[in-house]
Structure 1
Amino acid sequence: MKQFRAPVARTVVEPGRYADAEEALRRSAFRLGVALTARPDTNQVSSPVSALYALSMLRAGAGSTTAAEMDLVLGLPVEHHAAMNALLATVQYFDGDPVSVDEEDLPGQPLVHLANAVFVPEGGEIGEAFLATLARYYGAGVHPVDFADPATPGLIDDWVWRETGGRVARAPLAVGADTGLSMLNAVYFAAAWDEPFDASGTGQDPFILVTGTRVLVPTMHGYRWVRYAVGPDWQGIDLPYGGGFFLRLVLPAEGVPPAWDEQELAGIADGLDAAESIRVDLSLPTWEHSLHLDLIGVLAGLGLAKTVGPGADFDAIHPGLRVSGAAQAATITVAEKGTIAAAVTQLAMMTSAPVPPEVSIAFDRPFGYQIIHEDTGLPLFLGTVADPR
């Protein structure tokens, strides 16, 4: 796959240098997380970090009222590119190759892989300042492609497969001849529990569905030392992996859905961050879920209606470009040995005003057809359609 990078070396910003901006981005991630998981009556899995990463890159090409809307709705600070770089610098210490992970023997040292790519039209003119920002702060690879070539979707799918270790097999959005730019972020996580569960202790235990129906599901059991906290209408634990990562599990009170707003999530984080570790008797179901999210409606509902609408200003990327699609595919497996999760967020752009057709024709009444051999002019088939049902 052809690739070039803007002639700018990637910057590594020291964590904590923009502490206030980094905290603002943490709040932005939770804000997106609330929007991405707005249906607590269904199985949901999403990556707020992936969505924030993709939108932060998109912000690099936004101007005028579009930039102002993104900053206001997402709470993006002035130094958000540098702060995003700094915030993820520590996480990137755990980088590795997702393809190398043996899902039957998860790594004791967590593997966290973040990757960005921008697919641009061959010969197209994409703003140099935009590409330079992506190179400097996000290390985004830039891939010139022919979006009209039927092989191009496969090239993008190959990138997605490789950067997620095959956990996400295809890009969330289709591309075609009218695509002007496709930008992707991938996040991959694999880690063993700090103390794995004994598979022999997993049994079929009851689980109460939203409808009140009791079903039997595979459930892990074990005694664990974990941070434990109780709040209004919830209790929760932090179940550790190695390397300073943990799975935060929050159980609402009976009859209360597992849905929290940004402020409530912050309160849960404060409670558990300050909690002491205690020994608990834990019962936790295993699960494996995947989800495909159309983000256009989610982002518009969040307040980014102009950003994803036809009048957005992304002239810094290319005059006339608008967001034509936004989607995320995510998957997670939680079992006795640990957790594997992956997500890909994709933003597609096209020109705002496609060239209008010279003629419009609708075959909405009886018509005739012929199948012609071009060189000889012979009609191989000829017929009429009076009723296409």
Structure 2
Amino acid sequence: MTTANANALTARWTSTVDTGNTVLSGPGVYVLLALLAPFADGQVRDDLLAVAPEPLDLPDSPTTRMATAVWSRTDVPLTDAFVAAVPAARRGPLTGDPGTDQPVLDAWADEQTAGAIPAMPIQVGEDTLMVLASALAVQTTWSSPFTGIPRCPQSGPWAGRDLNGLSRRTRGLQELRVAGTEGGPVTLLTVTGADDVDVVLALGEPGRPASEVLPAAISAPARASTEGPGISVREIEAADDEPELLVDTVRFRVEGRHDLLKDAAVFGLAAATDRDEGHFSGVSPVPLAVDQARQDAVAEFSATGFKAAAVTGMSMVLAGAFRPQYQYKKRLVSVNFDRPFGFLAVHRATGLVLVAGWVEEPELAEPEL
């Protein structure tokens, strides 16, 4: 059911997309929701479990890589259970200084996607207590490559435009299916990758929006057919009777930048943003609320293959009026070095004094102008 749950999230998300070029990754969000769900409280826990009831285990793949990481401030103690769920290699510190923290997060996004996404989609602030992130990278080549050809459509919204066309002719029709939906049929063409990733191209009837075509491509029942949008059939002379499939499409590179909190209910995050109280006591005794949730993604389809990358980030801030509870009283002892003093630098394991020195005259402050 894990794949079905992740696909269901992607289908719901695609039903909300606006017009224009875009790309998104449901699994990139799902892995973070599934990580948080067991450690959430009350309504937030219910909402997250409804979307991501179990972890998503990606198959061992030569074409697909998923990485996750968590950064937190030292004054946000993590529970033993959360530490066990997120190994030390996937955890890092936040200093509370955006000038220090943001470059670290940006470098992680850049490294995990080989430069495709050069920066984390969220911006940390002085009040950011925790950041969770995922990075997805996919790259495959076609089992049957395309040939690049100039294209200039004669009708439709692309009429008169000079395009980077792609064309190929293969034997058999097994890559072609049509999904029937209430809004009309959707043609599905599977472009088979050389390893373990394929790309499905989905075409609806003229004027049908992405918010309808994409969910249909994900979840609507489909069958082999030669009757659907964009499909035409003609007879040719040939040496055998095996059908052939001629595909004409275009090269593309698209980008998407998504604020997940604009449709927070889709991701089970609506209640998690309420700062009146904390929602993740299983993560930390410090009350936390979700502050930002964003994803940046990019995808490129060419004559030889396909590659895509997505980075998803969520940040958390303090919720409610938190007051640390102290159980003990103690003395406060002060020491003031206000006259000449010496110093040593000692190697802890061996006791070796690495350097020693004396401060006779302290450094003077710069005079005010």
- Note whether the superposition's TM-score is higher than 0.5: yes
Indicate how the Cα distance of structure 1 residues 283 and 143 shifts in structure 2: closer, same or farther if over 3 A, else same.
Answer: same
Size of the alignment, in residue pairs? 304
Q: 2 CA distance for matches of 1:148 and 1:134?
A: 24
Any idea what the Cα deviations from partners look like across 1:235-258, whole Å, max 9, x if unmatched? 111110012321111110123223
Counterpart mapping for 1:345-384 below 5 A: 345-353=312-320, 376-378=367-369
Give 2:118's match in structure 1, choosing from 153, 163, 169: 169
8 Å contact from structure 2 (residues 9, 266) kept in 1:
no
CA displacement at 1:333 relative to structure 2 = 1.0
8 Å contact from structure 2 (residues 261, 293) kept in 1:
yes
Q: 2 CA distance for matches of 1:236 and 1:196?
A: 18
8 Å contact from structure 2 (residues 145, 168) kept in 1:
no
TM-score (norm 2): 0.74
Q: What's the secondary structure of 2:211's corresponding residue?
A: coil
Question: Which residue number in structure 2 is paired with residue 316 of structure 1?
Answer: 282
Indicate how the Cα distance of structure 1 residues 38 and 149 shifts in structure 2: closer, same or farther if over 3 A, else same.
Answer: closer
Give 1:203's match in structure 2, choosing from 137, 150, 174: 150
Q: 1 CA distance for matches of 2:137 and 2:34?
A: 19
Q: 1 CA distance for matches of 2:6 and 2:14?
A: 12
Q: Is 1:180 matched up with 2:147?
A: no
CA displacement at 1:304 relative to structure 2 = 3.4
What residue ranges of structure 1 are gaps of 5+ in the alignment? 1-20, 95-110, 356-373, 379-389
Question: Which residue number in structure 2 is paired with residue 222 of structure 1?
Answer: 168
Q: Is 1:334 matched up with 2:280?
A: no
Question: Which residue number in structure 2 is paired with residue 154 of structure 1?
Answer: 103
Indicate how the Cα distance of structure 1 residues 124 and 39 shifts in structure 2: closer, same or farther if over 3 A, else same.
Answer: closer
CA displacement at 1:317 relative to structure 2 = 1.5
8 Å contact from structure 1 (residues 228, 278) kept in 2:
no
Q: What's the secondary structure of 1:307's corresponding residue?
A: helix
Q: Supply the AA of the counterpart residue of 1:230.
A: V
Q: Supply the AA of the counterpart residue of 1:283.
A: D
Question: Which residue number in structure 1 is paired with residue 247 of structure 2?
Answer: 282
8 Å contact from structure 2 (residues 202, 217) kept in 1:
no
CA displacement at 1:300 relative to structure 2 = 3.4
Question: Which residue number in structure 1 is paired with residue 342 of structure 2?
Answer: none
8 Å contact from structure 2 (residues 186, 217) kept in 1:
no
Q: Is 1:52 matched up with 2:30?
A: yes
Q: 1 CA distance for matches of 2:245 and 2:130?
A: 50
Any idea what the Cα deviations from partners look like across 1:37-68, whole Å, max 9, x if unmatched? 62352111001110111211122321222101
Q: 2 CA distance for matches of 1:169 and 1:301?
A: 27
Give 1:292's match in structure 2, choosing from 248, 257, 261: 257
Q: What's the secondary structure of 1:242's corresponding residue?
A: coil
Report the RMSD for the aligned CA atoms in angstroms.
2.8
CA displacement at 1:205 relative to structure 2 = 2.6
What residue ranges of structure 2 are gaps of 5+ in the alignment? 227-241, 323-364
Any idea what the Cα deviations from partners look like across 1:200-245, whole Å, max 9, x if unmatched? xx213328666x7653321101113552112332111111001232
Q: Supply the AA of the counterpart residue of 1:189.
A: V
Give 2:203's match in structure 1, choosing from 230, 251, 256: 251
CA displacement at 1:198 relative to structure 2 = 2.5
Higher Cα Rg: structure 1 or 2?
2
Give 2:188's match in structure 1, choosing from 232, 236, 246: 236
TM-score (norm 1): 0.70
8 Å contact from structure 1 (residues 28, 52) kept in 2:
yes
Counterpart mapping for 1:35-50 below 5 A: 35-36=13-14, 38-50=16-28
Indicate how the Cα distance of structure 1 residues 260 and 295 shifts in structure 2: closer, same or farther if over 3 A, else same.
Answer: same
8 Å contact from structure 2 (residues 15, 215) kept in 1:
no
Any idea what the Cα deviations from partners look like across 1:332-371, whole Å, max 9, x if unmatched? 111111111000000101101479xxxxxxxxxxxxxxxx
8 Å contact from structure 1 (residues 118, 140) kept in 2:
no
Q: 2 CA distance for matches of 1:208 and 1:45?
A: 26
